[in-house]
């Protein structure tokens, strides 16, 4: 299991230097289009169905996918004043090496 701080840091770096899609619907679209490089979802989302499909979709498409415990933390990393259920990194920017190390399980 990757370190939550590292996962959130990768999202923050990608937000400032690359491009991210925010929200479960946008993340799903990015996965389906094959543009997502990393997907992060919150495990405290209710109902769970909102994000339950993300890990399965990511596995099918070979996209690294991580769950973190709090949607508030994910929202903050995504630069939002509100919580978010999921985030997809579409362009890594300077987060490329961080995402690669997460994907390898370092």
Maximum Cα–Cα distance for the chain, whole Å? 33
User: pTM of the predicted model, to two decimals?
Assistant: 0.96
Query: For residues 48 and 93, what is the distance between their CA atoms, to the nearest angstrom?
Result: 30
Query: For residues 45 and 2, what is the distance between their CA atoms, to the nearest angstrom?
Result: 20
What is the pLDDT at residue 106?
A: 72
- Nearest CA to 74 among 41, 98, 26? 41
What is the pLDDT at residue 1?
A: 54
Query: How is residue 35 annotated by DSSP?
Result: -
pLDDT tens track, the chain, 106 positions: 579 999 999 999 999 999 999 999 999 999 999 999 999 999 999 999 999 999 999 999 999 999 999 999 999 999 999 999 999 999 999 999 999 999 988 7
Which CATH fold would you assign to the domain 4-104?
A: 60s Ribosomal Protein L30; Chain: A; (3.30.1330)
């Amino acid at each position: 299991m990757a370190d939550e701080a590292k996962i959130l840091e990768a999202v923050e770096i990608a937000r400032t230097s690359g491009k991210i899609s925010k929200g479960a619907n946008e993340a799903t679209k990015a996965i389906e289009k094959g543009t997502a490089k990393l997907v992060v979802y919150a495990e405290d989302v209710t109902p769970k169905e909102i994000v339950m499909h993300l890990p399965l979709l990511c596995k099918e498409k070979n996209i690294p996918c991580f769950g973190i415990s709090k949607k508030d933390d994910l929202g903050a990393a995504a630069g939002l004043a509100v919580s978010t259920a999921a985030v997809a990194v579409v362009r890594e920017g300077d987060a490329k090496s961080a995402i690669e190390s997460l994907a390898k399980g370092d």
